[in-house]
Amino acid sequence: MFVAAAPETAVDWKAHTCVVPTVGIGNVAPLAVDLLVATLGMKRIGYMDHDGLLAMAGSSTDPGAADLTTSMEVYHHAEKALVVLQQRAPVSKAFRGQFRQDLAEWLAGCAFQRVVLLAGADTAERLASQIEGPQQRYLASPGLQGQTAELDAAMPCLEPRLKSPGNPDGIYIHRGGIARLLFASLCEHGIPAACLVQFCAAGDTRREAGELVMALNAWLKFTDGALRQPHSWELCYGTGLAQNGLF
């Protein structure tokens, strides 16, 4: 799946953490990755190629750069031992199962130290106990046992719900895209993995994206400074009202 931007790109990521967003409600997970990439100044090293990804091309997210933005890209930060995927286009419904399986196999083959999924969940589907307090939840695979003390301090574990034949674990991430099934696939492959879930609604979720990144930072501690807003957000919701008023 991975296509390197340069032939000499090293792909020995055994000591790295990989962050993977899932497209879902409010696009909060991809927006969180935008913040992460901008804050750390991460370098794009390639892209992911899969038949299920809807084709997309756009202007570069870096000011003045001549390259194109594509459906799913890979960023790297050597000092932080961090690899980040950025998914900018959804997966075709007919290919979702195959995409999930292929992505899990690729992640397993890379032998990352850990994989962290980011996802959004609909605020309208919260339990009564989830309305107040931290608006993030997490899931952890058996391979991460004993490594989630910082997560426990920052947020509760995602509360299980009614189990069913199609959902035997009772994990419920409403409008979270493939997050639940991808997390299950990672567990099946024995990958040390976590899924961080941010409650949000449809619309402008930049604030929630920041909260999700700070929750991730409480665990991985990748920065001590403030988050940097990406250039691509400057016209995210238009140019705003004229400074001199309308009348």
Backbone region of residue 76 per phi and psi (left: phi > 0; alpha: psi in -120 to 50; beta: other values): beta
pLDDT of residue 36: 96
pLDDT of residue 247: 52
pLDDT of residue 126: 92
pLDDT classification of 182: cutoffs 50, 70, 90 = very high
pLDDT of residue 6: 83
Residues 119 and 184: their CA atoms lie apart, in Å, by: 14
Residues 71 and 181: their CA atoms lie apart, in Å, by: 21
* Domain residue ranges in the chain: 17-233
pLDDT of residue 246: 55
Dihedral (Cα; 188, 190, 194, 200), 10-degree rounding: -20
Residues 141 and 139: their CA atoms lie apart, in Å, by: 7
pLDDT of residue 211: 95
Residues 126 and 117: their CA atoms lie apart, in Å, by: 20
pLDDT classification of 59: cutoffs 50, 70, 90 = confident
199-217 pLDDT, tens digit each: 999 999 999 999 999 999 9
Task: Strand 72-77: give its sheet, edge to edge.
Answer: 2-4, 43-48, 72-77, 82-87, 17-21, 114-122, 193-200, 136-140
The Cβ of residue 210 has, within 10 Å, a number of other Cβ atoms equal to 18
Average pLDDT of the residues of the chain: 89
Helix, strand or coil, per DSSP, at residue 19: strand
Bridge partners of 21?
118
99-155 pLDDT, tens digit each: 999 999 999 999 999 999 999 999 999 999 899 999 999 999 998 888 888 888 889
Under CATH, which architecture does the 17-233 domain have? 3-Layer(aba) Sandwich (3.40)
pLDDT of residue 215: 93
Query: Cβ(121)–Cβ(174) under 8 Å?
Result: yes
Q: CA end-to-end span of the chain, whole Å?
A: 54
215-247 pLDDT, tens digit each: 999 998 998 878 999 888 877 766 666 666 555
Residues 112 and 200: their CA atoms lie apart, in Å, by: 29
